[in-house]
Amino acid sequence: MKLLDRLRALFGRGGKAGRALPPLPEPRAKVTYVKERRVSRVKLDPKALRRRKIFRYIAAALAILVSIGSIVIVKATDRGTTLPDEVLGVWQTDEPRYAGRRIELVRGAVAFQTAGDQGALPWQPITQVRRGEHELGTMFAVEYMGRDGELAYFHFIYSHDGARRIYLANQTDFAWYRTGDAVQTGPFLGTPR
């Protein structure tokens, strides 16, 4: 006798359970169980609903502010404010129009000697450095604090041909050559970032 028949015989004769087992489904029959779902609706007063809505709006606003703040922090720290080693130094040209003039580049500042400058050069702090590709080499866009306290821009191209020369972005017909290391000795304008 099979186990199932034994159980039916035991419970079907008025055993402890006192009831018969339900019939088993056919082995290949598809059985679908439906779970009862009860929806309980609790009525809230209008003030509670309003508070809940305000809380959701505040939570959403805080999430947006946190995400915007993290983006701003990442962008602020990602911005380069120093020049790479290969462009640092004193740069002069053989062009007669610019005889006696020089450009000095250090990590976080630039200095320009013009025709009327005498003595130590005023260093101007760099606020941002961006790079890009150019047909002559790597183009640098340097944003710095000018002598008058306004933002100024200096664009130059560093040549990759090994001759250690730069070209001013608006004057690519002649080059500036590195003649030595720049030493920051003059007055520093502004606060470096």
DSSP codes of every residue in 46-61: HHHHHHHHHHHHHHHH
From 78, 93, 125, give the residue that closes a domain: 78
Q: Are residues 100 and 125 in the same domain?
A: yes
Residue 76 banded pLDDT, cuts 50, 70, 90: low
55, 90: one domain: no
pLDDT over threshold 80, residue 31: no
Domain boundary among 78, 99, 122: 78
In a domain, 10, yes or no: yes
Residue type, 114: T
Q: Which residue has the higher pLDDT, 193 or 138?
A: 138
Q: Residues 104, 169: one domain?
A: yes
- Residue that terminates a domain, selected from 33, 60, 78: 78
Domain that holds residue 156: 85-180
Strands 109-113, 102-106: parallel, antiparallel or unpaired by DSSP? antiparallel
Residue located via tokens 């080693």: 85
Question: What string of DSSP letters covers 167-184?
Answer: EETTEEEEEEEEEE----
How far does CA 6 lie from the centroid of its chain?
73
Does some domain include residue 189? no
pLDDT in tens, 106-153: 888 898 887 766 667 788 888 888 888 888 888 999 999 888 888 999
- Residue 191 falls within a domain, yes or no? no
| Averaged pLDDT score across all residues of the chain | 77
The answer to the question of residue 155 being in a domain is yes
Contact by Cβ (8 Å): 182, 88:
yes
Is residue 193 assigned to a domain? no
Contact call for residues 152 and 124 (beta carbons, < 8 A): yes
Assigned domain for 192 exists: no
The answer to whether position 107 is within a domain reads: yes
Please tell me the pTM assigned to this model.
Answer: 0.53
Q: Give the chain's domain count.
A: 2
In a domain, 109, yes or no: yes
DSSP per-residue letters across 32-98: ----------PPPPHHHHHHHHHHHHHHHHHHHHHHHHHHHHHHHHHSB-S--GGG-EEEEE--GGG
pLDDT mean over 151-175: 87
For residue 112, give the nearest of 87, 79, 136, 146 by alpha carbon: 146
Name which of 103, 112, 106 is nearest 84 in CA terms: 106
